[in-house]
Structure 1
């Protein structure tokens, strides 16, 4: 596989403005848990960067995120299409991060041409339990596309929110909440590991901005939210080790998920990405800073709701 992964960012929905004012971290009110780290990006302050990769106008983004640029060859051409995550499909435009899935015509399909998609991944690979959030809208589709916001370690340890547009797949026009693995060793579904909810039961219009969020706690499991409303709770296979955060927009012709790619360009327009989380190995500098501030208290932690 030809693979380039390229670096990128950070934004916010926070109560306190910086680690200076939150020396002992962020207290997540729902779990009364302190998270020591924050990944935060508010694109409303960002300059245009087309494409974003290695663009000096997207320095913050490129510092903290990676942009994928590699071809994903179909494992079974009778089921899937070849697809490519293309760095040129990730831009910062009009104070938003824009990720594109290029139009894929009937002629493209008949010629078995490669689908052009977009994907970004946090540079941090040690993110554990936390609250992970993004605000985006999905528009332009005329056929299959899947917008995914997820935490990932490997195929046996993954948390997904995936929005599948109207199209040809068996899960088209749904929002899906999953913890992997979702199948047992014999291939049968694991109860409650994944749930699909029709889009119109969750949001009125995908073309409006909505907040997609999942909270991961070692004892309480994973809760999924859209616009602050609980959609699904899952206590199955809560991650125990570090992973990364990703956003992607894709379609590979698989009629069990994305369906035939949209014949028009699909745009995932992101307003914010923010996460409060702990990491696999505590940072002694952060511990020293907290101790010097007097230890965890209402005055040294910031509240996240």
Structure 2
């Protein structure tokens, strides 16, 4: 019997010798360079789903912990794809850096809750809310406008969160800028949701200026540890032994761009409209769905050829991921399992349709669930 490639999941390279490999059974890949239709409703019909929901909500200044509140608006998430699916370089259809634009506006809204001043911002959340352990990656070009926070994070609640946050006010302008690596925990909740003075907060200098090009930001989360990366190189590692505060429940993947005017964090609001641009998100994870876990175990847990029916997730591509980079063929191209049917059988995917004028991503039917979930050897979610 011939089995599909990746039948039992996707593996990542070792992060240290005590964790020789990690295997994840589900994926969510989104190619924003070639996404031409984005449903603009939080309540997205399955036939229109692209894996993400654009958010709309208001947070008062008190809730947002700043002199300004947050006003997440659908209009602040804007598609700017490349003009052709054949292209992996060039400007977006609206000009400038191609991909998904997430805006923070300079004009504040004076009509927020109870007359509050609100900063208008953008946010997207994954439709999958069953992510428990995984390798999560995003290609981003940060804003060069001072006074915003760009955040890529996994979220369960305010005391279970894994976060990479870039504060544009911290940009050095000298070819290297810091990024904030945050694990929100019960300890940070006890400190009024401020992780800065806890053991799970680090500021790490990046060997590049994030606003001058696209780079990949990543974190790998297993029961043993959480490791943060930039362009495929480890930045920081946290062992999951910090007073039982490590996240261990399912959650969702989120990305937002915001400002509250808090001088100790986002700064701002920005003096002009500020844009964060995404080229892709790639998530390889285990599902908390008990049925999916059971079916995976039945098909894969006792396989002697497990290595032969899993696929290794490519590391950061050698040619880079920047569609605006010159001197390289297809400089924005990176690997997607979803573009090869043999590599994503029975996965929930949102494949790009052909054509350049309208692209509607439609999830595949789950023909069976015979193998699709939860690795039970090293990453048993219990």
Q: How far 1:40 sits from its partner (Å)?
A: 0.6
Matched, 1:97 2:100: yes
Q: Distance between the aligned counterparts of 1:133 and 1:79, measured in 2?
A: 29
Kindly name which structure, 1 or 2, has the bigger radius of gyration based on alpha carbons.
Answer: 2
User: Closer, same or farther in 2 for the Cα pair 1:59/1:242, shift >3 Å?
Assistant: closer
Q: Distance between the aligned counterparts of 1:45 and 1:258, measured in 2?
A: 31
SS in 2 for 1:88: helix
Matched, 1:64 2:66: no
Q: How far 1:280 sits from its partner (Å)?
A: 1.7
Matched, 1:247 2:255: yes
Identify which range, 22-31 or 152-161, moves more after superposition. Answer: 22-31
How many residue pairs get aligned? The number is: 271
Provide the TM-score with structure 1 as the length reference.
0.78
Q: How far 1:204 sits from its partner (Å)?
A: 2.8
| CA contact 1:224–1:231 (8 Å) conserved in 2 | yes
SS in 1 for 2:49: helix
Q: How far 1:185 sits from its partner (Å)?
A: 4.0
- Cα deviation, 1:6-62, whole Å, max 9, x if unaligned, reads xxxxxxxxxxxxx94211111222241221101111123322x4x64159xx98883
Provide the TM-score with structure 2 as the length reference.
0.63
Q: Distance between the aligned counterparts of 1:250 and 1:238, measured in 2?
A: 26
| CA contact 1:23–1:286 (8 Å) conserved in 2 | no
Which position in structure 1 is the counterpart of 2:203?
A: 196
Q: Distance between the aligned counterparts of 2:81 and 2:297, measured in 1?
A: 39
Which position in structure 2 is the counterpart of 1:11?
A: none
The structure whose residues are more often strand, as a share, is: 1
Q: Distance between the aligned counterparts of 1:185 and 1:279, measured in 2?
A: 29
User: Closer, same or farther in 2 for the Cα pair 1:61/1:135, shift >3 Å?
Assistant: farther
User: Closer, same or farther in 2 for the Cα pair 1:71/1:297, shift >3 Å?
Assistant: same
Q: Distance between the aligned counterparts of 2:221 and 2:210, measured in 1?
A: 27
Q: How far 1:103 sits from its partner (Å)?
A: 1.9
Output the aligned Cα RMSD: 3.2
User: Closer, same or farther in 2 for the Cα pair 1:302/1:60, shift >3 Å?
Assistant: farther
Instruction: Give unmatched runs, 5+ long, in structure 2.
Output: 83-98, 172-176, 316-382
Matched, 1:224 2:211: no
Which position in structure 1 is the counterpart of 2:366?
A: none
Q: Distance between the aligned counterparts of 2:122 and 2:57, measured in 1?
A: 10
- Cα deviation, 1:124-152, whole Å, max 9, x if unaligned, reads 112111111001001251x3000000011
Instruction: Give unmatched runs, 5+ long, in structure 1.
Output: 1-18
Q: Distance between the aligned counterparts of 2:189 and 2:80, measured in 1?
A: 43
User: Closer, same or farther in 2 for the Cα pair 1:185/1:98, shift >3 Å?
Assistant: closer
